[in-house]
Amino acid sequence: MERQRLDKWLWHARLVKARTSAAALVEAGHVRINGVRERSPGHAVKAGDVVTVGLDRSVRVLKVIGFAERRGDAGSARVLYLDLQGRAE
């Protein structure tokens, strides 16, 4: 798999509790891909994309490094992204 829907990836990465919450987050304009605001939950993300998410008065900056077929535990979710917070790239 080299691409995945944005809402599905956010859910698999365990940034939200439900896929519908991920879709609502995107539609509300709280998600950027490579610095560009994305409002379509069906937008495809690929490895190397930088996803910026505004969540609960904080901002997460994540680099997509993998995809999952199914939603797993927190440990398996952490291998889907590299947290860029606090790093200069």
Name the residue range of residue 70's domain: 3-83
pTM for the model: 0.91
pLDDT value for 26: 97
In this structure, the chain runs to a length of 89
Q: Name 36's bridge partners.
A: 33
Contact 37/78 with Cβ under 8 angstroms?
Answer: no
| Domain annotation covers residue 43 | yes
Domains in the chain, number: 1
Query: What are the tokens at 52?
Result: 């910026």
Q: First CA to last CA across the chain, in angstroms?
A: 26
**Would you say residue 88 has pLDDT above 80?**
no
In a domain, 75, yes or no: yes
| pLDDT for the residue 85 | 84
CATH classification at residue 23: 3.10.290.10
Does some domain include residue 88?
no
Contact by Cβ (8 Å): 74, 63: no
Give the tens place of pLDDT for each residue, 35-82.
999 999 999 999 999 999 998 889 999 999 999 999 999 999 999 999
Q: pLDDT digit string (tens) for 23-40? A: 999 999 999 999 999 999
R_g over Cα of the chain:
12
pLDDT given at position 56: 85
pLDDT at 87 over 80: no
Residue 89 pLDDT > 50, yes or no?
no
